[in-house]
Amino acid sequence: MGTPLSEVLAFFDEWKPTLGDMLSSMEKRFTDETIWENVGMSKTTGFAEAKAFMDNFAEMLPIESGEVIVHHASANGNVVLTERTDNFYDKDGKQIVSIKLMGVFEMDGPRILAWRDYFDTAKGFG
């Protein structure tokens, strides 16, 4: 088991190369009580709700893969802050969504207890 920071960074690395890999990583790291909130947009509890949100997101946009570019990350105890860009691609590798955001993770070993992302919802995805 790594530090909270190394576990969050490993979580992002596990998203490659497909959306299925991202979902597998979420299933592995979420508990039944994990709260994932895209502030101003959605809030889920547990993996099943998170997967349903991602399935709906992928229906709106033909997402096949994603990557996370971490610009800055810091930890204090079990809380990890990340400034990052999440990029998502279609089946041909064309970028279709790029989201600049700040994230807060509350960790328990490799498990994510809470994950909140803050981004400009008025701007939308682009």
Express each pLDDT in 106-125 by its tens digit: 999 999 999 999 998 776 55
CATH of the domain at 85: 3.10.450.50
pTM beyond 0.85: yes
- The answer to whether residue 74 sits within a structural domain is yes
Structural domain includes residue 126: no
**Structure tokens, 82:** 């990340």
**Which tokens is 98 given?**
């790029």
Q: Does some domain include residue 77?
A: yes
Range of the domain at 63: 4-118
Q: pLDDT tens across 32-69, in order?
A: 999 999 998 899 999 999 999 988 888 888 888 889 99
Of the candidates 81, 123, 126, the residue with the CA atom closest to the CA atom of residue 102: 81
Mean pLDDT over each residue of the chain, to the nearest integer = 93
Structural domain includes residue 125? no
Q: Which of 13, 21, 90, 117 is catalytic?
A: 117
Query: How confident is the model over 66-77, as a mean pLDDT?
Result: 96
Q: Is 23 part of any domain? A: yes
| 117 has catalytic annotation | yes
Residue pair 94/20 in contact by the 8 Å Cβ criterion: no
Among residues 13, 86, 90, 108, the one annotated as catalytic is 86
| Tally of structural domains, the chain | 1
Residue 64 lies in a domain: yes
